[in-house]
Amino acid sequence: MISPEAIRVNGRPAREVSALERGLHYGDGLFETIACVRGGARLLEQHLRRLASGCARLGIAPIDPAAIAAEVREAAAESDRAIVKILVTRGPATARGYAASGEEQPTRVMLRYLWPEDDAALSEQGVRVRIASVRLGENPALAGLKHCNRLEQVLARRECADAGFGEALMFSSSGALISGTMSNVFIVQDSMLLTPCVDRCGVAGVMRAEVLATAAAAGIRVEERRLDGDDLERSQELFLTNALMGIRPAREVAGRSLVPGTLTRHLQAQLAARLSSAADGSEDAHR
């Protein structure tokens, strides 16, 4: 059993939320998972921007970014390495049924977890990746959002709970490669870096955007496009990204062995430098 070290609800230490939560009844909310390293919250501004944009798209009342930033920074300062999750829902229901009344007061939950031990080794050696049989439904109205309707991911994770796989790749209902269950995916084809579009399903990951920017800054040819199973089979390198793992190479995909390649290693180094300098700047700015 892995429990959070701290939980706050609407800024106060608490263990519970209302049983009327629309988050509970409909998954009517959004979340961010933030890597806290050396006392700082990595890519915090990017997380807050995505959260605000998600609230706008779902019609959830605007968040107070300064309040959330203060809460996350306080949580980050309390340990050397921690994972902070911020969940924002539309709040307790003010009526019965799906329709929001517009009178809801959003609920914010903050959870801080210890960072697991084994991450560095996985970034070095790479992980085994399989293909999930569960597919992602396509819905442009929800695509890109890190919302709380995550049953597809829950079911996909069930499939690979037993074996030594670090992640499962998910295809959409129309056969496009989209992402891992908890990560975005990049492939290398002939020195070109490719990642799936997330305009029909999938999450527009904060680290995905950071890797795209890092690659562009490093002069690497990079493109978001629709990818399919053939693209996956033709990939010479493949790596996964999320806010916690940064870039995690695959050493096996769907039974095929892969070696974390030169482009992956180059990008890992460039990203580490970029995140390190951003963290320094952010710490200067906030202290």
Residue showing tokens 């629309």:
22
We find the least distance from the C-beta atom of residue 137 to a copy of itself, in angstroms, to be: 2
Give the residue with the Cβ less far from a copy of itself, 171 or 186: 171
Sheet strands side by side (includes 81-89): 12-13, 6-9, 107-114, 81-89, 29-37, 40-41
For the CB of residue 268, give the shortest distance to a copy of itself in the complex, in Å. Answer: 23
Binder of a copy of itself out of 11, 137, 175, 281 (CB under 8 A) = 137
- 157 or 226: CB nearest a copy of itself: 157
150 binding a copy of itself? (CB under 8 A):
yes
Name the helix (H) or strand (E) containing 109: strand 107-114
Q: ∠ CA(129), CA(208), CA(232), 5° rounding?
A: 40
Q: Are 272 and 62 in contact (CB under 8 A)?
A: no
13 interacts with a copy of itself by CB under 8 A: no
Q: Which one among 52, 75, 176, 182 touches a copy of itself, defined by CB under 8 A?
A: 182
The secondary structure of 188-239, three-state, reads: EECCEEEEECCCCCCECCHHHHHHHHHHHHCCCCEEEECECHHHHHHCCEEE
Task: Rule CB under 8 A: choose which of 111, 194, 203, 250 binds a copy of itself.
Answer: 111
Q: Residue 196: which region, alpha, beta or left (left: phi > 0; alpha: psi -120 to 50)? A: beta
From the list 128, 129, 122, 119, the residue with the least C-alpha distance to 168 is 129
Q: Is 163 in the site for a copy of itself (CB under 8 A)?
A: no
- Residue 160 or 263: which CB sits closer to a copy of itself? 160
**Using rule CB under 8 A, residue 19 touches a copy of itself:** yes
Query: Two tokens at 113?
Result: 């977890």
CB of residue 210 to a copy of itself, shortest distance in Å = 21
Exactly one of 46, 79, 179, 181 binds a copy of itself (CB under 8 A); that residue is 181
168 close to 161: Cβ distance less than 8 angstroms: no
Residues of the shown chain interacting with a copy of itself in the complex, contacts defined by CB under 8 A:
1-4, 7, 9, 14-29, 31, 58-59, 83, 85, 87, 89, 94-101, 103, 109, 111, 113, 134-139, 141-142, 147-158, 161, 173-174, 181-182, 200-201
